[in-house]
Structure 1
Amino acid sequence: MHACPPLRRHSALLTLLVAAGALAGTGAAEVMAQSASPTSPPEGGWYNIGGDFAHTRSAPLDQIHAGNFGDLEVAWLWRGDNFGPSVDNILRSTPIYAEGKLFTVAGSRRQVAAIDPATGETLWTWRMRHTKRWEDSMRKSYGRGVSYDVVNGRGRIYVVDPGFFLVALDAETGRPIEDFGEDGIVDLMVDLGYPFDGDEGIPPEIGYITNSAPPMVVDGVVIVGNSGEQGYYQTRRQEVAGHILAYDGRTGEHLWKFHVIPRPGEYGNDTWEDGSWEYSGNVGSWAPMAADPALGLVYITTKGATNDYYGGHRPGDELFGNSVIALDYRTGERRWHYQLVRHDVWNYDNPHAPQLVDITVEGERVPALVQVTKQGWAYVFNRETGEPVWPFDYREVPQSDVPGERLSAVQPFVTRPAAFEHQGITEDDLIDYTPELRAEALEIVSNYRLGPLFNPPSRRDAPDGTVASIHCPGANGGANIPGGASVDPESGILYVASFRGCSAPQLLPGTEVDPDATMDFVTIGPGGVRGPQGLPLLKPPYGTITAIDLNTGDHLWQIPNGDTPANVRNHAALQGVDLPVTGKTAHATVLVTSTLLMYGEGRGGEPLFHAVDKQTGETLASVSLPATTNTAPMTFMHEGVQYIVAAVGGAGVPGSLVALRVF
């Protein structure tokens, strides 16, 4: 199988595939000499999905403040419903602001658009040609944005198509850069190292690869992550490994590849026992990345191996799964790593980018990296050395009784900061608004195994008569894709949005789900448990925002994400009950500026945008939006005016961008 002629690459580049580990090209120094990546956006800019290389999701702007936040009005609404064969009601892209324009993607085609920041007018659009690879992508509507760089004095926009093509566009015109790859396009499958067809992609019996997050572009190097097949639907042992790829941002030449599943002779290969490295896959980096140009490092987070909830076919701790990895972005050489979860069977991948901030701990200045996770922890490292700022404890965790499964005996536990989300589940955690509701909740969970954090998945026909194990937080819990965190570089305070979501996957014999399955046990989804009468199973709060001082590791405050949901407040079984403010069953979407913490309530919340006092957590003002926020908002200054732009959608509003300003 081969790449089709319109997208082929020079055969000389294929020789890079034979070396082991991080494959370094020879042109990295030359790349940096011909590129002018800004080390941080100029004041008022927003060059990356996270605002800056550090992915702080912050901006040093103060035109919008507590005194005028309530005066915010909609400046324009840019609708994303004409960029694919069907209407997408969810827009997951955080736009960037550069060269006086906004740049985003929209629709299942992941169409790139340039937008006038003052009016919302579309200036240009571009989309990739149709391929079977696009048709088969499981992440067509998951595009999270674009990247920007300056090459030879002219701006470029970089995007990865759902079919796994890297594209470079002229920021002014939207036209592909002719001398980048083949007419502006690099076929990433060439350098991944698996057989493939240029139009149809990798054969399904070998595996699958796509992308959702934009690449990281730093010092002229374009680093590309990826997303694999949805792990809770996989039935085959064999899968594509999500190796990290890097390219020359000027020419598209392949520079290096980092093996997320190490090959023989590479560090970490011995953590894949019984030769499981040969057929195991996933472990990709589908979250956005962060970078420190002063250190020459790019920071990558990874997910677990095939599949999400059973690992009997992949014994061992499985590096570099569920890890934070610091790579030299010039060469791809690993500087340090830390594995947050060993032998993952909980879908505890890292969906959020690392965030970089300088803090002062016991009088010493520390260049820090903080990684927020589904588990409800903020892991804090020295980003130069990889040393934890506060120690982790390795504690024994429950073991599995599923045939063939062999879990790690211990997992690392964060000792500081304290968890920002409730961990584990016991009967004491169940809803107790009324005795009747509590009795119903107890009856529901009698069919499940309850337990602490790292409660292992179990069989649907377990010997004790239960149908599954509940683990909390679960696939949609903790800090996750839509909300995540912002960090204030001035104060070192982290503001993290979280959701009390649990999972209860049922393990089934593989051939019961797929006659051709090659795994002993599989699942058909992450599983969830409905509470009594449609109410949440657990006590509140449901969604929260927590402020954590990273200089001390102390929690400063925690507030609910908005008010109590209407379906709880107005429930017939709760009439006359004095309810607390529970927060929405949703991930808040947060943004921090010099003056305020701001957030939308997220899908499942109300179409509101709130201003919060950064020091106290007090809600200062709220304004209405056309629909609920879908992902993290951003802010910028354009022609002397500060704007806030958020992706919104749902309730009859297609996935759109809304811009707010004070008139």
Structure 2
Amino acid sequence: MTWSTERSEHTTRSRRRMRATERRRPPLALAAALACALALPGAALAQGPGTENGNWTYLGGDAWHTRYTPATEITADNFNDLEVVWEWSATSFGPSTPRATPSYIDGKLITVAGDRRHVVAIDPKNGDLIWSFREPNTFRHDYSMRKGYGKGIAYTEIDGRGVVFISSPAFFLHALDVETGKPLENWGRPVPIDGFNETGTVDLVEDLIADWGPWLAMDRPYDAGQGIPIEIGYITASSPPIVVNDTIVVGNSAEQGYLQTRVENVPGDILGYDVRTGEHKWKFNVVPRPGEFGHDTWENDAWQWIGDVSSWAPMAADPELGLVYIVTNGPTIDYYGGHHPGDNLFSTSIIALNADTGEREWHYQMVHHDIWNYDTPTAPVLMDVTVDGREIKGLFQATKQAFLYALDRETGEPIWPIEERPVPSSRIPGEKLSETQPFPTKPAPYDLQGRTEDHLIDYTPEIKEMARQVAEENNLFNGLFDPPTHTDDPAGPAWNCPGGGGGTNITGPAVADPVNGVIFVSSQSSCFRLQVMPGVDSPLDELEQSGTTHTDFAAVATTVRGSIEQFTIDGLPIWKGPVGRITAIDLNTGDHLWAVPSSDASEAQQDTIRNHPLVQGLENIEINRGRGGNAAMVVTPTLLVAGGLSADNTPMLYAYDKRTGERVGGIEIPGVTRYGMSSWVHDGHQYIIVQLADGIAAVAVPEAAPASGGY
């Protein structure tokens, strides 16, 4: 392919193709959307791919979630000269799971910190704290799950005033002035809890459950301090909302499905609010009710009590089309679905909603009746591509199962065929799986799926035969959609490859070069072993639960991670690597361009392979198989920048030539990168921000250091 470093204007097409089973009605006409955008509060923000004016206003840089910056100061020539110019510690804000991408907005770096999900504004020149916001304490925060999982903030401008939005673990939506961190005046509605301001907040729970059957059946007054009564459900948020023109769209999350001890919960319905006022505009039911599209995919009347199907991953949007793109997880309880037979729309799906009305424009379900924990962990990436001479507004979704789903984001139609292929049935009593699952024909999977003879090392026929014997003797061969087994099954636990850890997972969202139509996907070749048991036998009953009830349905008995790599030929791995990789895919053709290990295997691991007697004298031996885990990444006009580990276990920031995958630079950083990066320009210098275990670090040219005075 021919690469370009110049941004181009993509031709807008008026083509609208209809699929009656997946589309509700055509999206907003482009001309009307543009006319509206000029008058809307977020109109000053970037509408297309890539950041503008050096800012990083969305979690993914832009609404398209490309994590692409056009900044050019950092190059292959100076990458090895970069320095950590400052660090900011979040330890004073309490414990957290470091998964936030800081946003850079007109001279302030804004992120979240700690299990209270403080919002903090930081001086991008030196890392000094400018202001912070802390939500008042509530009982519902105390019992909330995923407290430290906040990934960032949302932002817009209202009449020229910058406004930051945050959804909290207690499931409140706050609007803050970007200059001061104070709650916005005349916005939202009063919350009757001590410590809350009169304005600047919306109680999301109140709108979520207002028409929910189990809540209405309780027939009691709503208590804002408690939120959802814990005996019927729980909800939280782990990703920020997203602003789409004059609407702020809010997703949610629940407890991890492998830790749940009941089948009843509140559905993770999507909420929309007016950006200017905080007024509730709409709610989209992720578990369709009678008369709604998809209701017939829930048998056993499960729609009345089933929960989750939440949107815990971040969202993407196309403001010009007026669409927001939401990815969902499975229903309550990850690995057993006998209590909710059917395909279960809109679980494990991509949903395109009209951001103004909340109406479904189209959807695509990636896993029917998901009992593999194949929920979608990252936001879709939007990008315009040219396929066989056709200009297409694309949507590309990386997944735990190492498929990249390529869809037209206007219509939901696959760009390349996606085939429904037969998959195994379950031997667990009461479980009724879908007979088929969707398999994209292009692009090819970007990591190992299942384990077959094609995945065995083949340095020589004799070595491959030895590897085959190890795999066969230990019952290691398996298929992508092999279902979990029961604890009484003599076959033992089922292999699940990739397992619930991916493939792609939370910490390594895909990034893209929208100029050339190339996506970069981080993945790992991990496996789980899966068995389920009756819920009454579950060890979860012995854990301290936050008010949950217990169930007689199945619970997870075994989820062993990565153990398939432990089977070797006297230390020589039997499976092809790398075990953690970055893959570049040209989305104009669907072809893979290159794949490289995302980290270096340890010196000990490399020595074991290098010195193994079976490979002595052989060429093209895979010495560096990398490491498991996903890489945090960001894209520039010439580079792919990614976190990783060196062979001596040093945390590194690496630069790759994005055309070839060649590593062209690397610098030591204070800790392992934990989530997607951001890159922006302040006072004439380009910065790269990496999220660490206890804070963030800013990487830039030496001239950007606080003591140097810059230019």
TM-score, length-scaled by structure 2:
0.83
Q: In structure 2, how many angstroms separate the alpha carbons of the residues matched to 1:39 and 1:391? A: 32
> Match of 2:117?
110
> Match of 1:543?
580
Q: 1:503 to 1:431 in 2, by over 3 A?
A: farther
SS state of the match for residue 368, structure 1? strand
Q: 1:313 to 1:369 in 2, by over 3 A?
A: same
> Match of 1:612?
656
> Match of 1:518?
551
SS state of the match for residue 189, structure 1? helix
> Match of 1:73?
83
| Structure 1 residue 573, shift from structure 2 partner | 11
Q: Is 1:562 matched with 2:573?
A: no
**Contact 1:237/1:519 (8 A) holds in 2:** no
Q: In structure 1, how many angstroms separate the alpha carbons of the residues matched to 2:88 and 2:607? A: 34
RMSD: 2.9
Q: 1:648 to 1:660 in 2, by over 3 A?
A: farther
| Structure 1 residue 36, shift from structure 2 partner | 3.1
> Amino acid of the residue matched to residue 661 of structure 1?
V
> Match of 1:136?
143
> Match of 2:706?
none
Q: 1:73 to 1:282 in 2, by over 3 A?
A: same
**Contact 1:232/1:524 (8 A) holds in 2:** no
> Amino acid of the residue matched to residue 89 of structure 2?
R
Q: 1:587 to 1:445 in 2, by over 3 A?
A: farther
Q: In structure 2, how many angstroms separate the alpha carbons of the residues matched to 1:632 and 1:297? A: 24
> Match of 1:326?
352
| Structure 1 residue 119, shift from structure 2 partner | 0.9
Q: Which region of structure 1 is more displaced relative to structure 2, 139-148 or 507-516?
A: 507-516
| Structure 1 residue 388, shift from structure 2 partner | 0.6
**Contact 2:470/2:567 (8 A) holds in 1:** no
- How is 1:222-261 mapped onto 2 (pairs within 5 angstroms)? 222-261=248-287
| Structure 1 residue 204, shift from structure 2 partner | 2.8
Q: Which region of structure 1 is more displaced relative to structure 2, 187-196 or 60-69?
A: 187-196
SS state of the match for residue 51, structure 1? coil
SS state of the match for residue 199, structure 1? coil
> Match of 2:700?
660
Q: Is 1:532 matched with 2:532?
A: no
**Contact 2:383/2:395 (8 A) holds in 1:** yes
Q: In structure 1, how many angstroms separate the alpha carbons of the residues matched to 2:368 and 2:273? A: 30
Percent pairwise identity: 47
Q: In structure 2, how many angstroms separate the alpha carbons of the residues matched to 1:459 and 1:107? A: 39
SS state of the match for residue 529, structure 2? coil
Q: In structure 2, how many angstroms separate the alpha carbons of the residues matched to 1:469 and 1:631? A: 30
- Which of 426, 434, 458 is 2:485 aligned to? 458
Q: In structure 2, how many angstroms separate the alpha carbons of the residues matched to 1:456 and 1:219? A: 42
| Structure 1 residue 170, shift from structure 2 partner | 0.5
> Match of 1:150?
157
Encode CA deviations 1:379-412: one digit per residue, 9 max, x unaligned: 1111111111001111000110100000000011
Q: Which region of structure 1 is more displaced relative to structure 2, 197-206 or 324-333?
A: 197-206
SS state of the match for residue 601, structure 1? strand
Encode CA deviations 1:82-112: one digit per residue, 9 max, x unaligned: 102xx44x42100111121110001111111
Encode CA deviations 1:458-489: one digit per residue, 9 max, x unaligned: 11220xx2331011111111111101211111
> Match of 1:48?
58
| Structure 1 residue 575, shift from structure 2 partner | 6.4
> Match of 1:95?
102
**Contact 2:652/2:669 (8 A) holds in 1:** yes
> Match of 1:9?
none
- Which of 21, 35, 57 is 2:41 aligned to? 35
Encode CA deviations 1:342-394: one digit per residue, 9 max, x unaligned: 00010011111011111001111111111111111111111111111001111
> Amino acid of the residue matched to residue 93 of structure 2?
F
Q: In structure 2, how many angstroms separate the alpha carbons of the residues matched to 1:67 and 1:109? A: 42
Q: 1:155 to 1:589 in 2, by over 3 A?
A: same
Q: 1:150 to 1:217 in 2, by over 3 A?
A: same
| Structure 1 residue 602, shift from structure 2 partner | 7.4
> Amino acid of the residue matched to residue 130 of structure 2?
L
- How is 1:300-319 mapped onto 2 (pairs within 5 angstroms)? 300-319=326-345
Aligned residues: 629
**Contact 1:602/1:630 (8 A) holds in 2:** no
Q: In structure 2, how many angstroms separate the alpha carbons of the residues matched to 1:111 and 1:334? A: 33
| Structure 1 residue 574, shift from structure 2 partner | 6.5
Encode CA deviations 1:503-536: one digit per residue, 9 max, x unaligned: 1122011111267633421115643253438988
Q: In structure 1, how many angstroms separate the alpha carbons of the residues matched to 2:497 and 2:266? A: 29
Q: 1:661 to 1:92 in 2, by over 3 A?
A: farther
SS state of the match for residue 372, structure 2? coil
Q: 1:566 to 1:188 in 2, by over 3 A?
A: farther
Q: Which region of structure 1 is more displaced relative to structure 2, 577-586 or 379-388?
A: 577-586
Q: Is 1:600 matched with 2:643?
A: yes
> Match of 2:497?
472
**Contact 1:235/1:519 (8 A) holds in 2:** no
Q: 1:511 to 1:436 in 2, by over 3 A?
A: farther
Q: 1:302 to 1:445 in 2, by over 3 A?
A: farther
Q: In structure 2, how many angstroms separate the alpha carbons of the residues matched to 1:205 and 1:440? A: 51
> Amino acid of the residue matched to residue 93 of structure 1?
A
- Which of 479, 500, 507 is 2:525 aligned to? 500
> Match of 2:634?
591
Q: 1:537 to 1:455 in 2, by over 3 A?
A: farther
SS state of the match for residue 505, structure 1? strand
> Match of 2:665?
621
Q: In structure 2, how many angstroms separate the alpha carbons of the residues matched to 1:603 and 1:207? A: 44
Unaligned runs of 5+ in 2: 1-23, 26-32, 191-198, 216-221, 542-548, 616-620, 704-711
Q: In structure 1, how many angstroms separate the alpha carbons of the residues matched to 2:537 and 2:223? A: 31
| Structure 1 residue 118, shift from structure 2 partner | 1.0
Q: In structure 2, how many angstroms separate the alpha carbons of the residues matched to 1:392 and 1:427? A: 24
Q: In structure 2, how many angstroms separate the alpha carbons of the residues matched to 1:468 and 1:347? A: 16
- Which of 176, 185, 189 is 2:205 aligned to? 189
Q: 1:469 to 1:448 in 2, by over 3 A?
A: farther
**Contact 2:448/2:455 (8 A) holds in 1:** no
> Match of 2:21?
none
Q: 1:152 to 1:529 in 2, by over 3 A?
A: closer
| Structure 1 residue 413, shift from structure 2 partner | 0.4
Q: 1:292 to 1:507 in 2, by over 3 A?
A: same
TM-score, length-scaled by structure 1:
0.89
- How is 1:49-448 mapped onto 2 (pairs within 5 angstroms)? 49-84=59-94, 87-88=95-96, 90-181=97-188, 182=190, 183-193=199-209, 194=212, 195=215, 197-426=223-452, 429=455
> Amino acid of the residue matched to residue 616 of structure 1?
T
Q: 1:626 to 1:441 in 2, by over 3 A?
A: farther
> Amino acid of the residue matched to residue 35 of structure 1?
P
**Contact 2:451/2:476 (8 A) holds in 1:** no
**Contact 2:602/2:646 (8 A) holds in 1:** no
Q: In structure 2, how many angstroms separate the alpha carbons of the residues matched to 1:442 and 1:49? A: 47
SS state of the match for residue 120, structure 1? coil
Q: In structure 1, how many angstroms separate the alpha carbons of the residues matched to 2:316 and 2:702? A: 32
